[in-house]
Amino acid sequence: MTRHGLRVNPRLQLTLRIVPAQPGPGARLARRLTMLAILSLVLALPSSRTLAQSPLLVYAAASLSDVFLVLEAEFERQHPQIDLVLNLASSSTLANQLLLGARADVVASADEAQITRLRDAGLVGDAQIFARNRLALVVPSDNPAGLRAPADLARPGLRLVLASPGVPIRGYSDQVLEQLERQQHVEVEDILANVVSEESNVRQVLFRIAYGSADAGFVYRSDVTPELSDRVAVIPLANEVNVYATYPVAVTANSDNEQLARAFIALLLSPTGQQSLQDHSFIPAILEAPPWPGSPCWLAAPA
């Protein structure tokens, strides 16, 4: 049981018998002394957590939400005296928070650019690549705009949702659009003219598509989960158009738990961590050139 950072052993029972005191100054003094004695006993109780064992703060990209919740449980199983606290947001938001002085122990980004920003500011050391990803072009499951191919994104009147500039998925999306222009002679300007919303992270893009407020958007393949199979479908991206997203992780320079931070990164890179990533449709870092089964994508029905 944890209350305000104090973990109490439920098997430890303390029975106190308080005898009503007689009215008067002496009785009030006795009552105060009794309460002080109780407080002293409580503070003296052995605890499985010490003040030095502050929570392990892990900043992680929004696209890592599902798998990091699994790894959080695994890490706490391996370290039962430690609370792991996740801060999940776009990688650029996390980097901005750290640059403004927020404290963290580990930062896991969806691109290398944000880690470079932090390294240049002296806030992280060397980073390690622990996973990769690929992009998916998603549409609502009923595909109301009738998209057949990525080139259809340039069609006038289409409602396209992207992430905001600076968010990693937006950078990767822009690379895909550049490849489309180069290889399929689709004008990027025509596609961007259809943008109706720019979201703060990839999960917001996905939710806009899943709930029908846009016709298409780019997310990571790992975002297309079985739970969304009845809400979104995928328009295939050719390999020569698609790109790889890279996920680095680093210990922060101001970590209060450097040993535990490195233990969490070791879990990420362990067979257990890499299998969890693959189970959530990431490409494990140990696979340099996949064969990789990919994510369970649901293809859009032809219009």
What domains sit in the chain, N to C, each tagged with a CATH number? Answer: 56-132+247-284 (3.40.190.10), 133-235 (3.40.190.10)
Q: Which two tokens stand for residue 1?
A: 């049981």
CA–CA separation, 224 vs 298, rounded Å? 8
Q: Which residues pair with 6 in a beta bridge?
A: 3
- Name 253's Cβ contacts closer than 8 Å, sequence gap at least 6: 122, 123, 124, 125
Half-sphere exposure of 216 (CA within 13 A, CB side): 29
Task: Check residue 181 and give its pLDDT.
Answer: 95
Task: Check residue 54 and give its pLDDT.
Answer: 87
Residue bearing tokens 């199983």: 77
H helix intervals, the chain: 25-44, 65-78, 91-99, 112-120, 168-184, 188-192, 202-210, 258-269, 271-279
CA–CA separation, 283 vs 281, rounded Å? 7
Task: Check residue 138 and give its pLDDT.
Answer: 98
CA–CA separation, 82 vs 79, rounded Å? 6
Task: Check residue 35 and give its pLDDT.
Answer: 47
CA–CA separation, 1 vs 302, rounded Å? 54
CA–CA separation, 259 vs 271, rounded Å? 20
- pTM here is 0.78
Q: How far is CA 181 from CA 156, 163, 169, 241, in A?
A: 16, 20, 18, 10
Task: Check residue 49 and give its pLDDT.
Answer: 42
pLDDT in 10s for each residue of the chain, 303 residues: 333 333 333 333 333 333 344 455 455 444 544 443 443 443 344 444 443 468 999 999 999 999 999 999 999 999 999 999 999 999 999 999 999 999 999 999 999 999 999 999 999 999 999 999 999 999 999 999 999 999 999 999 999 999 999 999 999 999 999 999 999 989 999 999 999 999 999 999 999 999 999 999 999 999 999 888 899 999 999 999 999 999 999 999 999 999 999 999 999 999 999 999 999 999 999 754 343 344 333 444 433
CA dihedral 171, 236, 138, 276 (to 10 degrees): -80
- Name 87's Cβ contacts closer than 8 Å, sequence gap at least 6: 57, 58, 59, 60, 94, 97, 104
